[in-house]
Chains A and B, each alone.
Chain A
Amino acid sequence: MTDSTRENAPVVVTSPVNLSTDGGSASALPPSGLARRRRRRGGAGLAGRLEIAALSAPAVIIFVTFVILPVFMAAYYGFYRWKGYGKPTDFIGLHNYVVIFQDPLFHGALMHNLEIVVLSLVFQGPIAVIFALLLNRKMRGQSIIRVLIFVPYVISEAVAGIGWSLLLAGNGAFDALMRDLHLNVLDRDWLANPHLALWTLMIILTWKYIGYATILFLAGLQGIPEELNEAAAIDGASYWQVQRRITLPLLGPTLRIWAFLSIIGALQLFDIVYIIWGQYVASTAGVSTMATYMNQNGRISGNFGYGSAVAVVMFIISLIIALTYQRFVLRRDTEGALTGGGRTR
C-alpha cells in the first residue's frame, strides 16, 4: 500500500465508502509536492508552536484526564483492597486477579460475552447482508424504509430495554399476541427462564443493532459500480452469481470493519442487560456479562479495588481480541487507518 493510501484511509465523509483498497489514493494530492509545500508552510516558528499548543491543549487535557488517566487508575487500584474512601493502603498484589479468575460467576459472565460475540456475528451479519441486498434494488420508498429500520439504533438503550421488558413480561403483550394467533409454543417465560434469556437477549440486540449493520452494508453496496453488475449480466451471470462472485467480495472491507465493531461492542455490553435484567443479573438470569459483573461486584458492593481489577481484565481481554483481529483480519483493509492518519511525512 502506498503512503498516500494510508493517509486517506481514515474517512471519506462525503463519499463514505472507498471500496478498493487503493481507491482512496485516487483523490489524494501527489504526496511529494504536497509534503514539500506543507513542510515549508508548517515549519513552525515560535508563533506556530504557540498556535499548535493553544489549539490542541484543551482537547488533549480533557481527553487524557477523562479517558486515559482512568484506565491507569484502574490498573493501580486493582492491586488494592479498597472501599473507595481515602487513599488505598491495603496492598494485596495480584489477589484481586486471582479471585476474579477463580470466581465461577466471572467465568459465566465471560462465557456469556463470548457467546454474545459469536451469536451477534452469526445472527446479524447474514440477515443484514440479505436486507442490504434487498434494499439495494431500485425500489420506491427506499429512503423511508432506511429511516424506519434505523429507528431502533437511535432510541436509547433505556427506552428500548423498558419497552422490551414490558413487551416480553410474563403475561405481557407478546405472549398474549401469540395466544391470540394460536402459537402457544411461543408463549414462553422469555425473560425469567435462564435457559431462554440469552436467546431473548440476542433477539433484542439483533433488533437494536441490525439497522446499523444494514445501513452500513447498503452504503458499501452503493459504492460498487453498476458497470460491474451489467458486465457480469451480459456475460450471462445469474443474479445470485453476481452477488456471490462480485458483490460479496467487494463488500468484504465493510463486512470486516462491521464485525470488528460488533465484537468490541459485544464484549462491553452493559446497558440493555442491566436495564432489563437488573435485579436478577447477579444471581441466575443467565445473561450476566463482564460489565454487569464489574458493576455488581465493584460499585454496588463498594469494592472499588476489585471493580477496578475487573475493568483491567475486561480491557486486556478486549485488547487481545481486538489486536488479534486487527493483525489477522483487518490488516489488508485498514493498514494504518487507526494509527497512520496523522503521521508526519
Chain B
Amino acid sequence: MTVGTLDATEIRTRRTKAAKSRELAWGNPVIYFIALLFVGVMISPVLYIVIGGFRTNSQITVDPAGWPHPWVAQNYIDVLKNGIFWRSFANSTIAALATTVGVVALGLMVSFVLARYSFRGRGALYTLFAAGLMFPMTVAITPLFILIRTFHLMNNLLGVILPGIAFALPVTVIILVPFLRAIPYEIQEAAEIDGCGRMGFFFRMVLPLSVPGVITVGILAFIGSWNGYLLPLYILNNQKSQTLPLTVQTFASGPYSADTAKILAFTSLAMLPALAFFSLFERRIVGGLTGAVKG
C-alpha cells in the first residue's frame, strides 16, 4: 500500500499532525467567530421581534433600530389581556392537537398494515401514500375549498383538521413503515406463542415499541399544523374561528397596523409556543426531518 513507501517516523509525524489539526479545530477562534456570525444573522430577526415588543411606538419612530429605553412590558400585557389573542391561541391548540392525534392514530394503523401484513395491493397502497408527497396543498387548495364548503365545514376547525391529517399522512407513513418493519419477528413469534393474536400484538407490543417514531411524527404534524397558513386562509374566514398565523396577519394589517410595538409583541407571543415545543424536542425533530428526507 502507499503507506509502505513511507518510513515509520514520517507516518508518525503525519499522524500527530492530523491529530494536532483536530485539537486546533477544538479551539480555533476563527471557527467560533464565523459560527457566531452565522448564528447572529439567523436569530437577529427573531430578537428584533421579541425585543421590539418591549419598546414604545415613539421609541420606534425616533430610532427604528434602537434598544428599548426604558423597557416597557405594556405591549405584552395588552396582548395577553386581548381576547382575540387567546381565542386564536385556543383555536390553534385545538387544531394542532386534533391533527396530531388523527395523524398518529391513522398513520400507525395503516403503517402497521403496510409493514406487517402481506397482501395483494400492498405495493400499490404504499405508492398511493408516497405519491402524496407530489401533491402539495397549494395545487389542491382551490378545489379543497369547494369540497370543504360542500361539507359545510367552512369556518369550522374540522375543515382545517381533516385536510391537515390527510396532507400529513404521506410523511407519517414513510417514516413509520420502516420503523414498524424493524420490530423483530421473534418478538411477534414470542407473543403468538404466549397466545397473543395479531391485534393483541399491535396494541401490546407495537404501540409501546413505536413510541420514538410516533413522537417524531407527532411533533412534525403539530408544528406543521400550528404554522399552517394557506389552508386556514381559505377555510377560516371569520375572526372567531381563525388560528394564530391568520390572526397575527390580520392584526398586523388591520386596525392596529400603525401600532408597530403591539404588532411585534403579538407576533412574538404567537411564535413562542412553537419555539418552546421545538426546543423541548429538538433532537427528535432534527432526527425525524433528516430521516424523513433520506427517503
Q: Which residues of A contact B (CB under 8 A)?
A: 8-14, 16-18, 34, 37-39, 41-44, 48-49, 51-52, 55-56, 58-60, 62-71, 73-74, 77, 84, 131, 134-135, 137-140, 145-152, 154-164, 166-167, 171-177, 180, 207, 210-212, 215-216, 219-220, 230, 233-236, 239, 254, 257-258, 261, 264, 268, 270-271, 275, 278-279, 291, 294, 298-299, 304, 307-308, 311-312, 314-315, 318-319, 322, 334, 337-345
Contacts and interface: CB of A to CB of B under 8 A. Distances in A.
Interface of B: 2-3, 11, 14-15, 17-18, 21-22, 25-26, 28, 31-32, 34-35, 38-39, 41-43, 45-46, 48-49, 52, 63-66, 102, 106-107, 109-110, 112-114, 116-120, 122-123, 125-136, 138-147, 162-163, 165-167, 169, 173-175, 177-179, 185, 188, 198-199, 212-213, 216, 223, 226-230, 234, 244-246, 248-249, 252-253, 260, 263-264, 267, 270-271, 274-275, 278-279, 282, 285-295
B80 to A, nearest CB: 17
Contacts of A151: 42-43, 46, 275, 278
B113 A70 contact: no
B110 A55 contact: yes
Given A73-B147, A147-B279, 13 more contacts: A18-B294, A56-B125, A67-B166, A67-B167, A74-B139, A151-B278, A156-B227, A156-B274, A173-B52, A207-B42, A264-B136, A339-B126, A344-B123
Contacts of A233: 14-15, 17-18, 21
A258 B292 CA distance: 11
B128 to A, nearest CB: 7
Nearest to A238: B21
Nearest to B41: A207
A56 to B, nearest CB: 5
Contact of A234 (B11, B46, B185, B279): B11
Most chain B C-beta atoms within 10 Å of own C-beta, residue among A67, A84, A268: A67
Prevailing SS type, chain B contact patch? helix
A60 to B, nearest CB: 7
Nearest to A148: B39
Contacts of B135: 67-68, 71, 315
Ranked nearest first, the 9 interchain pairs of A and B with the lowest CB-CB distance are: A342-B126, A42-B118, A156-B227, A158-B245, A66-B166, A73-B143, A233-B18, A70-B140, A59-B110
A128 to B, nearest CB: 10
Contacts of A156: 226-229, 244-245, 270-271, 274
B91 to A, nearest CB: 14
Contacts of A11: 174-175, 177-179, 291-292, 294-295
A198 B201 CA distance: 55
